[in-house]
Amino acid sequence: MKNKLLIISIVLMWSCSSNPKIDNDISQFTVIQKPELSYRVNNLPKSIKVYYFQEESYEGLPSEIEGFLVNSYFYQSNLSYRPNIEIHKLDNRDCNLSNDTKGLVILFNISFQNDLNKLECIKKFSKSNTFYISNSFNLGFNNNFIVDQSTEKQILISRIPDNLKKFVFFDTEIQGDETSMELLKEAKKEVIIQSTYSTKQNTQNLMSEILLSDRSNERKRKLSRRLSKTLAGDPRTREDIDSFFLSINVEEARIIKPALDFISEKDFDVYILNNWRKDIAYELADKDLIDTINSDLPIMMPIILPQHIPSEKRSRRFGIGYDTFEIVLLRYGAVNTRNYLYKGLTGKIDVNRSGVRRSAYVFKITEDGVDIL
């Protein structure tokens, strides 16, 4: 399969340190923010070769490549940085690499599937000269940017207060989440009930079974028959649960949370770890999710994106590609990044000599929008 070549530009116009013009129309929370740093444009790569794996039955550029290019376009006009960017498509069965080794090599491996052919292809890349981007494990590359969900899991569970100890845990049939279960146990949280959720289920009946509210109604009916009179009273729910932890997607959470509120007689603390299986963004004043505590990438949060980022491109892969280009600038051209955290589409990112470290956000959905915790 022929590689797809995309030439953006080959001319560098500035030869001294420069500051980009910043577009920070991003909401009052400033969760996403362009770096306000000086750059040595001459130090930046003049040539960038970007490789990605083409998924079956999809012919367009993947979202991570689109995010990478959108950010490169931003710096063309704001920093006059115009590298020669080549985009090369890889096929798992036909792994042809460019013979030219000059410039920076970036390898995107953003997929939930890693077959043996793909892994053999990845082995052909130099471990020392390739910047490896993935949403799973690092495969031995010295330079890497790994955006997996472990950071979100850890920070969300760490924010659960000590007084909440007994949980109902939900995950899905598609993707079980044993890691979060283990982290909850390590945090001294007891999972009273573990349940697999499917949208095919009757959610209100499921909540009734978990909270035992149906048993309360049954006891009332039996007592009414014995006394030969109708008894009034509200159904009672079990008292050995104080919290819910949902490892599901936003669409499913919007079904479970209202059903839980309807069946229960008290306000449970609800923690939502989006399982990243679907790119469904949160919404401003998300009525079905009010008072839930969440963790997800900033690009999926209910905040206003910068004007140069198309809202229709809102996806995690887009955010990973966008931040990748920013990391290239910070690593090779920034004058001083000491003690500096770049606020990107995937989280707070620290770029230093030892590597790239990403930290996550926790946020609460409110009637007015979102509170960053």
In this structure, what CATH number is given to the domain that contains residue 41? 3.40.50
Q: For residue 110, count other CB atoms closer than 10 A to its CB.
A: 20
30 and 141: one domain? Answer: yes
166 and 37: one domain? Answer: no
81: left (phi over 0), alpha (psi -120 to 50) or beta: beta
Whether pTM exceeds 0.75: yes
143 and 155: one domain? Answer: no
Is residue 356 within a helix (H) or strand (E), and if so which, with residue range? Answer: strand 355-359
- Give the mean pLDDT of 340-348: 93
175: in domain? yes
Q: Is the pLDDT reported for residue 328 higher than 50?
A: yes
Distance (Å, rounded) from C-alpha 38 to C-alpha 331?
Answer: 12
312: in domain? yes
290 and 165: one domain? Answer: yes
Task: Show the tokens assigned to 39.
Answer: 């750059």
Say if CB 83 and CB 22 are below 8 A apart: no
201: in domain? yes
Q: Which long-range contacts (CB under 8 A, 24 or more apart) does 175-184 make?
A: 175/275, 175/277, 177/247, 177/273, 177/275, 179/150, 179/153, 180/153, 180/245, 180/247, 180/273, 183/153, 183/154, 183/157, 184/157, 184/245
The total number of structural domains in the chain stands at 2
325 and 310: one domain? Answer: yes
> Residue 288 belongs to a domain with what CATH number?
3.40.50.2300
Of 126-140, 147-161, 190-204, which has the strongest mean pLDDT? 147-161
241 and 352: one domain? Answer: no
Task: Show the tokens assigned to 5.
Answer: 């070549």
| pLDDT of the residue at 243 | 93
222 and 289: one domain? Answer: yes
Give 5's pLDDT tier (boundaries 50, 70, 90).
very low
For the chain, what is the radius of gyration of the CA atoms?
Answer: 25
| pLDDT of the residue at 238 | 73
Range of the domain at 287: 151-296
| pLDDT of the residue at 290 | 93
pLDDT, tens digit, 9 for 90 and up, residues 257-293: 998 988 887 788 999 999 888 899 998 878 999 999 9
Mean pLDDT for the chain overall: 82
171 and 280: one domain? Answer: yes
| pLDDT of the residue at 17 | 44
240 and 199: one domain? Answer: yes
* Pairing, β 190-197 against β 342-343: unpaired
| pLDDT of the residue at 210 | 85
345: in domain? yes
How far is residue 277 from each of residues 56, 152, 157, 176, measured CA to CA in Å?
18, 15, 20, 12
Angle between helices 150-158 and 178-186 (to 10 degrees): 30
320 and 291: one domain? Answer: no
190 and 288: one domain? Answer: yes
pLDDT, tens digit, 9 for 90 and up, residues 40-64: 999 999 999 999 987 766 678 899 9
Say if CB 134 and CB 110 are below 8 A apart: yes
Percentage, residues of the chain above pLDDT 90: 44
Q: For residue 155, count other CB atoms closer than 10 A to its CB.
A: 16
Percentage, residues of the chain above pLDDT 70: 82
**Residue linked to tokens 């905040």:** 303
Q: Is the pLDDT reported for residue 22 higher than 60?
A: no
Nearest 10 degrees: Cα torsion 261, 267, 271, 272: 20
Distance (Å, rounded) from C-alpha 294 to C-alpha 301?
Answer: 9
Select from 266, 296, 326 the last residue of a domain: 296
**Residue linked to tokens 């794996």:** 53
141 and 229: one domain? Answer: no
| pLDDT of the residue at 324 | 97
| pLDDT of the residue at 275 | 87
Task: Show the tokens assigned to 232.
Answer: 């009034």
Q: Render 123-183 in DSSP notation, one character per residue.
A: TTS-TTTEEEEESS---S-SEEEE--THHHHHHHHHTS-TT--EEEEEEESS---HHHHHH
Q: Is the pLDDT reported for residue 2 higher than 70?
A: no
Give 100's pLDDT tier (boundaries 50, 70, 90).
low
60: in domain? yes
pLDDT, tens digit, 9 for 90 and up, residues 191-238: 999 988 887 788 888 888 888 865 445 444 443 444 455 545 455 567
| pLDDT of the residue at 35 | 87
| pLDDT of the residue at 11 | 28
12: in domain? no
Distance (Å, rounded) from C-alpha 256 to C-alpha 279?
Answer: 18
- Give the mean pLDDT of 303-326: 91
Is residue 273 within a helix (H) or strand (E), and if so which, with residue range? Answer: strand 269-273
Distance (Å, rounded) from C-alpha 230 to C-alpha 221?
Answer: 8
Residue (of 259, 283, 265, 292) closest to 362 by Cα position: 292
